[in-house]
Each structure stands twice: as structure tokens, then as C-alpha cells.
Amino acid sequence: MKLSVNKMVKMGVLAALSIVLMIVVRFPIIPAAPYLEYEPADVPVLIAAFLYGPVEGLIVAFIMALVQAFTVSASSGWVGLIMHVIATGTFVLVAGLIYKRFHTIKGAAAGLIAGSLLMTLIMVPANLFFTVRFFNQPYETVVKGLLPITIPFNLIKSLTNSLLTFVLYKSVSRILKVQENIRE
């Protein structure tokens, strides 16, 4: 992984865009759990992973999750930070690795779908562990909420962000790549 100044600046811009989207666009999607809010912050993170690679996507994801942990989700503290890094990190790493290996439209679609599914799956044990231990929710309550709340929320959020990434990636990548070709 080579991080030129140009790449670091563009990753910073994508992280900043992710943070702005996280702050500006937030709304609940599961009425039984209004504390679970959709936000499209993963879209710029996924674009970073597709454009620069899965490790770079993870870096942008961590920056975004860190800022979120100290701003809009401060009440969930370090546990929320860890859960967000697990969720978005899984999503970005899987999607980025598949797209890196299969650098085609089908590869992008496969990466986004696989990333969505694995993020949803990994959040089941993550919720069973973190929500029970650190948010003091009874194990049985968390288990009962998996199918009607946790799994649908993660699927809806990740698949929506996948669709947005799929639609926006080419135009955003063209803009960022054109800027790389400009010499001073």
C-alpha cells in the first residue's frame, strides 16, 4: 500500500464526505428500533475501497467511525465505535477485496452483495456479544430482536449503500482520477 500525498488528500476528502453524509442524512428505518438509523456514510468509504483498495477503504472507515463515536453516536461510546468498525470494516474489506480481484461491473456487484451479506452475518454475533455485555440487554431480548430488527436493518442499510455506490462509483472515480492526471 503506497500512500502518496495525493491519495491521502483524496482519502481525507472521502472521509470528510462520509462524515457529512452521516451527520446530515440520518433517519430510522425500523419502527421498533428508532435508535438504529440509516445513514449513507458507507458510500464514500466503499468508493475509497474500490478506487484505492480494501486497506485504504478500512482506513477511511476507521476515520469515519472514530468521528461518529465522538459526535452523533457519543452515547454508545467505545462499544459503538468497535461495532461500527466491525460492521463497516467487514463490508468494505469484503467488497474491496472482491472488486480488486474482479475489476469489472460484475465484480463490483458481487463484492457489494457479498459485503452486505457478510456484514449482516457478522453483526449477529457482534450484537449478541456487545449488546448483552456492554449495553446490559438480556441475551434473550437480543436474540428475539435479531430477525425482526437487527438482520433487516443491516440488510436494508448495506444493500441501499451498495446500490448508491454502484450507481455513483464510475462518475466519482472519473472525477478523482482526472485530478490525478493534472500536473502542476
User: pLDDT digit string (tens) for 17-62?
Assistant: 999 999 999 999 999 999 899 999 999 999 999 999 999 999 999 9
**Mind listing the pLDDT tens digit for each residue in 83-138?**
999 999 999 999 999 999 999 999 999 999 999 999 999 999 999 999 999 999 99
Domain CATH number, residue 118: 1.10.1760.20
Structural domain includes residue 177: no
- Does the residue 47 lie in any domain? yes
pTM over 0.85: yes
- For residue 139, give its domain range: 5-15+40-169
The string of DSSP codes covering 76-112 is: GHHHHHHHHHHHHHHHHHHHHHHHHHS-SHHHHHHHH
Alpha-carbon distance of 36 to 38, in angstroms, equals 7
Task: Please report whether residue 25 resides in a domain.
Answer: no
- At 129 the three-state DSSP class reads helix
Beta-carbon contacts of residue 138 (< 8 Å; ≥ 6 apart) = 132
3-state secondary structure of 37: strand
Residue 119 lies in a domain: yes
Question: For 61, what's the count of Cα atoms within 13 Å in the CB-facing half-sphere?
Answer: 28
Is residue 88 in a domain? yes
Q: How many domains does the structure of the chain reveal?
A: 1
The CA angle 25-26-30, to the nearest 5 degrees, is 140
